[in-house]
Chain A
Amino acid sequence: AQSVTQLDSQVPVFEEAPVELRCNYSSSVSVYLFWYVQYPNQGLQLLLKYLSGSTLVKGINGFEAEFNKSQTSFHLRKPSVHISDTAEYFCAVSEGGAQKLVFGQGTRLTINP
């Protein structure tokens, strides 16, 4: 069965500093990988996804993620964060061909001025 681990429950960062949110997964088959952002009391917004092809995926709001098959990781990065990036971030995986998602525990990103 597939599972997703987000290693950091909270990440505090100063504004304009770089950030990396870590995500590792386990699966016995090929997977699709996603990062979502959730602002307070709202649904989820897709930041980016990896389906196939280039392992470096660029998303919205300046975020990018790199798929590393050997390390079964899909870490999310942003070179310079803004106050508005304060939110909860979820990594998710679906096994190839299946639509339903399995989510990680989430990482709360807090940007300090």
Chain B
Amino acid sequence: GAVVSQHPSRVICKSGTSVKIECRSLDFQATTMFWYRQFPKQSLMLMATSNEGSKATYEQGVEKDKFLINHASLTLSTLTVTSAHPEDSSFYICSATPPTRVTGEEFGPGTRLLVL
């Protein structure tokens, strides 16, 4: 149990286009999901906290107009990278905490974004 999926696993796009990444909790409902970004050979940095039915909470330095987050249901959060540029190329990972746990997240498999 407690599985989190992401789609797509890998995406290549042209500079200036928008890319949507989906994060789904497959066997539990998650009122809160988290989006992380990981540059090559670096650690994970929290981008934003996605809250079901309300606005996402963004970390300092993350542009909310560039990284649009929608958490429309208890099992799905989407991250849209708008007008992507090569510097947005990264590994994006989502996570969620099953309601039966105090804390400790289940991570999705990640989405590798390459912007040409």
Contacts and interface: CB of A to CB of B under 8 A. Distances in A.
Interface stretch (A20-28, A41-49, A61-69, A78-86): A41-49
B64 interface: no
Interface residues of A, number: 22
Given A34-B104, A43-B93, A46-B104, A104 B34 contact: no
A48 to B, nearest CB: 10
Contacts, number: 53
Contact of A51 (B95, B103, B105, B109): B103
A51 B49 contact: no
Interface residues of B, number: 23
Contact of B108 (A43, A46, A99, A104): A43
A106 B104 CA distance: 18
A99 B34 contact: yes
Contacts of A36: 107
Contacts of A44: 44, 93, 95, 107
Interface string A82-113: 00000000100010001111111110000000
A105 B43 contact: yes
B112 A41 contact: yes
A101 B105 contact: yes
